[in-house]
Amino acid sequence: MRFRARKVRGAWMIEGERVCYVGGRLKMAWQEAFQAFGLEGQPWERVLLVGMGASLMQILASTATPPLPQVTVLEKYAEMVALQEAHCALPLAYEVVLGDAAETIHQLYGEYSGIFVDAFEEESIPETLLSQRFVDTAVSLLAREGLIFWNVLLPAQARWVGERLSERLAEVRRWRWPPHTIWAGARFPEAFPTPA
């Protein structure tokens, strides 16, 4: 993959050929999703990011109830990690596990109060993440009162993600901020800070 970092109106963005991976519309979509799902003041403990996300780390740090969460990042591209560490504010303690998340997710243990799947190769979710095995493993890592979020750009992939999460979780919600569809799921409706 080819990435480039550039400063726009005083803020760093990391872009691919056609999409923004850090900052810009992606950050706005996540900010709007946090408001829509009522996540201001959410008490995250351990958080898993599938895809290195400076934007998500910044939002989590500014909205979480202290103490701030420990973050595990699954990232396929060392170049993406290096660019974000060089140019972006990363206000949370984190560890990076490099490699394809479809494989590295199986190295994880314990439970996560928040799982954010935000991994793309341009507009598309990597095919390796569009598997029942990946979904099952991600859901198995979710704490009893935890929340999982999955950002999708392509409509067909958004339908697939929604169907898979609905098969595994009791409460699934969808929020759209075109072109983003963000799915949210929990084992129990009460896990969400706001009613449906």
The model's pLDDT over 60-115, given as tens digits with 9 standing for 90+, comes to 999 998 888 999 999 999 988 988 898 888 999 999 999 999 999 999 999 999 99
How many angstroms separate the CA atoms of 160 and 131, rounded? 10
Range with the poorest average pLDDT among 11-20, 105-114, 169-178, 187-196: 11-20
For residue 1, the model assigns a pLDDT of 58
Residues 166-177 pLDDT 10s: 999 999 999 999
pLDDT for 157 beyond 60: yes
The mean per-residue pLDDT over the stretch 140-156 comes to 96
Place of tokens 């990363």: 90
* Whole-angstrom distance, CA of residue 63 vs CA of residue 19: 25
98 vs 142: CA distance, rounded Å:
21
Do residues 62 and 30 make contact, with C-beta atoms less than 8 angstroms apart? no
Q: Which amino acid does the sequence have at 166?
A: S
Please report the pLDDT score of residue 54 as a whole number.
87
User: Where are the chain's structural domains?
Assistant: 4-191
Which H or E run contains 3?
Answer: none
Residues 6+ apart with CB under 8 A from 158: 152, 181, 183
- Helical H segments across the chain, by residue range: 24-36, 54-63, 78-87, 101-104, 132-140, 155-168
Residues 6 or more apart in contact with residue 102 via CB below 8 angstroms: 126, 128, 129, 131, 133, 134
Domain 4-191 is in which class? alpha beta
Quickly list DSSP for 100-153: -HHHHGGG--S-EEEEEE---BTTBPPGGGSSHHHHHHHHHTEEEEEEEEEEE-
The Cα–Cα gap between 38 and 26 comes to 18
Angle at 113 between CA 77 and CA 145, to 5 degrees: 145
For 22-75, how does the pLDDT look when each residue is reduced to its tens digit (9 = 90+)?
A: 667 888 899 999 999 999 999 999 999 999 888 899 999 999 988 889 999 999
Q: Percent of the chain beyond pLDDT 90? A: 71
Torsion of CA 142, 146, 150, 155, to 10 degrees: 100
